[in-house]
Structures are given as structure tokens and as C-alpha cells.
Amino acid sequence: MNLSDKKATLSFSDGSPSVEFPVYKGTVGPDVVDIRKLYGQTGMFTFDPGFMSTAACESGITYIDGDKGELLYRGFPIEQLAVNCDFLDICYLILNGELPNGEQKKDFDTQVTHHTLVNEQLHFFLRGFRRDAHPMAVLTGLVGALSAFYHDSTDITNPEHRHISAIRLIAKMPTLVAMAYKYSQGQPFIYPRNDLSYTGNFLRMMFATPCEDYKVNEVVERALDRIFILHADHEQNASTSTVRLCGSSGTNPFAAISAGVACLWGPAHGGANEACLQMLEELQANGGVAKVGEFMEKVKDKNSGVRLMGFGHRVYKNYDPRAKLMQETCKEVLAALGLENDPLFKLAMELERIALEDPYFVQRKLYPNVDFYSGIVQRAIGIPTSLFTAIFALARTVGWIAQWNEMLSDPDYKIGRPRQLFTGHVTRDVPEMNKR
């Protein structure tokens, strides 16, 4: 952190003395006012529910400029990474800060490939779930259950232990997601195969059966790999902040990541891709493109409770750069699978066209986010809607674990402990039963 020449002064209307706070500069992006001593100096807290103006940590992993619609992983634009790298390059980059050279890539890919198996006991754990359980409920449980294994690497103060936990998580997530899917289908689990790519192996674990192998289609493999790349990290979003807060108590890494999975599930976050596809399917069933205008009126009516899913973002007040890449992938996949006339894609394009011209969306700076097109791609690949958020969790695992590791590597880190503005009752006496 670089100290700025500027200082911030907070003054009060009641004549109490004003206080001065240091201002720090990042390498890029807004400066921050360091208010850590505010309480000590004034006896007051700041009030910022939803963290609208609060930087909760210092980080060097991902940078987003929401006004420009820019996303950088370790300084590299997402547009360049998406076309020049595969997902494991991105994992290496996010974890280590630099892209791997040829030898580093070979070593890293080998390490991940050789950690894809999960302990057989996990199969029994999975069998305790109902077959119709939501995959995110199952995944929250399975990832949390990993904390009961791997007793060789639980010292979170040891960087080597943290590294092996990161590799295990990245390697085992595809196996767990595919297991959750197979279980929901009543099909046997398919074990990983080491001669396939990370994404090719996941596709095979999803779609092969003991009776028939699955031949990985290159366009589909590239498309899913791109989905993984685009979802790998997104700075201090709700699930990442959850992982940091949970991990700040010093808990087991798998437990901290399972907290992230749980948070991601919500429809305002990772669950939006599932909600977006459901919205498109419902709209298609109720009249399709012809009814788009009527639907948009509902979206704009605050009393209807209807939102245009896949639109809007807390940080992006411009086109989400991932949505552009996803739209490109969507066209490629639909063409490769002979689905150029996919009605849902046409519907999505029409919704986007109308929204981008409508003053409601323009004034509020609401643009498509990554989820707007990712659901259509996944559906075309054959991934069921209920599994979309689990795919997101698989991809985001590297971001979560890298952010957790960054936090623990900081010698000054503290347990996260927000404060509150209390508006409940002041002290009162418990009345006797007959007076309640």
C-alpha cells in the first residue's frame, strides 16, 4: 500500500474535534481512506451495509473497472487470457501471480491431474442425500466433508500445506460436481482419466457411462474451458468475501470453501445463471419473442417483483466483458452443434436489444452480465439447469482459494469482525409469564 500525500479529514457539526485519516493509493482504481483508528479516536463506527464503499482487504489478484467494463487477472485483460490460455494456465496465474512457462505448465497440469480422485468414503457420504437434492446442497456438503480427510495438510500457517489444499480443491471439484450429477441421474460414478485435459475429463465424467464412452467434442471442450476461465475470480464478491471471513477464523480450508459454495448458491449471485435460463424458458413457453415487450413492462414495474435475470451488476456499470466473450462462445457452440436457430438464444438477443435501448436500463446502467449467455451454452452442451451454479463453483474455487491464501499470507491479517448500528431494545426486565 502506498501512502498518498492527501489526507482525509472528518469533522462534526457539534463542535467535537475533527480527525485526520491517512489515504492509500492502489496501483490502479480508487484510493482508500484508512479508518481503522476511527473507533479508537471518536468512539464511532462507519455504517456501510452491503459494503457499497468499503474495501475489506488489500489484494493483488483481480482488478475490475466497472465503469470501463474491464476485468484483469493479475494485470492481464480477460479478453487476452480467454483466447490465449486454458483454464489451468489461469489457475496457475491466479495462484502464483504469473503465467506458467512450458515446464511450469507441465508440472502444474501433472499435479492437478494426479489429485482428481476423491476418497471412496465420499461415495458413501453422497449416498446419504436424496437423489433429487439440489446439486448446490450436495456440493456444499461434499466440499465441507473434504475437511474430514487430508490430515496431512491442515496447518494453515504452512504455505506448502496451503498449496496442496489449493491443488486438491482445483483437482477434485470436477470429480465432485460430476458425482453429484451422476447421483441425481441414478447412474454409476465415472472415475477421472489422466490422459484427458482438465475440462475434457470433466465432460467425460459427466457424460460417459460404463456402457458407452464419451468422445470429447473440441468446440464443446473449449467453450466449457472458457466458462471456467471467465468465472475463475472476480475480486471481493459475496462468495469470495464469505471465504475470506470464514477463513479468517483460521478454519480448515475445505470448510472455508464450502462456505463460499453456500453463498454462491443464491439467485442474486451464482444462482443467477440458473434463474436466467428458467426465465428464458418460461418466456419462451409463454409466447417467446412476441411477448418480450410485455415481459419488459413487468421487469420495469417495481411492484411485480420481476427482475431481468442476467442483467445488472454491483460493480459493472457497463457491458460485463465476460458477457461479450460468452456471447461469442454461445454462437460458436450453437453453430458447432447445429443449433443456430436456438429459440432461447434468439430470445436472449432480443431481450438484450430492447434493454440496451430502454431508458430504464440505460439510466440505471444495467447491462448483460456473464450469466446472460452462459446458461444457453451450458444447456446446448447438455448440462442440466440445476447444475449451472455448481459449474460456477467449480470454476470459482481457484479464486476462492487464492484469495484465502493471500489473506493468510499477510502477516497483519486479523479475524474479520464487522460492527453494527444497534436499533433494538435497550436493557429491560424479563416480565413474569402472566404479564407477557
Residues within the interface to ligand ACO (CB under 6 A): 268-270, 272, 299, 307-314, 364, 366, 369-371
C-alpha 264/C-alpha 58 separation (Å) is 22
Count of alpha carbons within 13 Å of 178, Cβ hemisphere only? 25
Q: Choosing from 313, 320, 342, 429, which is the catalytic residue?
A: 313
Rounded to the nearest whole angstrom, what is the least distance from the CB of residue 362 to ligand ACO in the complex? 11
CB of 233 to ligand ACO, least distance (A): 12
Whether 216 and 208 have beta carbons less than 8 Å apart is answered as no
91 contacts 170 by C-beta, under 8 angstroms: yes
CA nearest 226: which of 301, 140, 328?
Answer: 328
C-beta of 202 vs 372, nearer to ligand ACO: 372
CB of 370 to ligand ACO, least distance (A): 5
In whole angstroms, give the CA distance from residue 164 to residue 150. Answer: 10
Residue 65 is a catalytic residue: no
**What is the helix (H) or strand (E) element at residue 25, kind and residue range?**
strand 19-25
Q: Report the nearest approach of ligand ACO to the CB of residue 364 (Å).
A: 4
User: Could you tell me the sign of the dihedral formed by the alpha carbons of 248, 249, 251, 257, in that order?
Assistant: negative
Is the CB of 136 or the CB of 156 nearer to ligand ACO? 136
Residue nearest to ligand ACO (CB): 312
Considering beta carbons, is residue 115 or 314 the nearer one to ligand ACO?
A: 314
The Cβ-side half-sphere exposure at 104, using a 13 Å CA radius, reads 13
Q: How far apart are CA 430 and CA 432, in angstroms?
A: 7
Smallest gap, in angstroms, from Cβ of residue 140 to ligand ACO? 17
Min. distance of Cβ 58 from ligand ACO in angstroms?
A: 23
Indicate which residue of 86, 89, 225, 371 is catalytic. 371
Nearer to ligand ACO, 147 or 369 (CB): 369
Can you tell me the distance from the alpha carbon of 236 to that of 59, in angstroms, rounded to the nearest whole number? 9
| CA-to-CA dists, residue 193 to 114, 214, 399, angstroms | 10, 12, 25
With respect to ligand ACO, which residue has the nearer C-beta, 93 or 230? 230
Torsion angle of C-alpha atoms 307, 312, 315, 317, degrees rounded to 10: -140
Alpha helices for 97-217 (secondary structure H): 102-113, 121-127, 135-146, 159-185, 198-207
Q: Using alpha carbons only, how large is the chain's radius of gyration in Å?
A: 24
233 is catalytic: no
Smallest separation, CB 250 to ligand ACO (Å) = 28
223, 329 Cβ separation under 8 angstroms: yes
- Give the nearer residue to ligand ACO in terms of CB position, either 57 or 315: 315
Tell me the three cell numbers of residue 193: 482419466
Q: Tell me the catalytic residues.
A: 313, 371
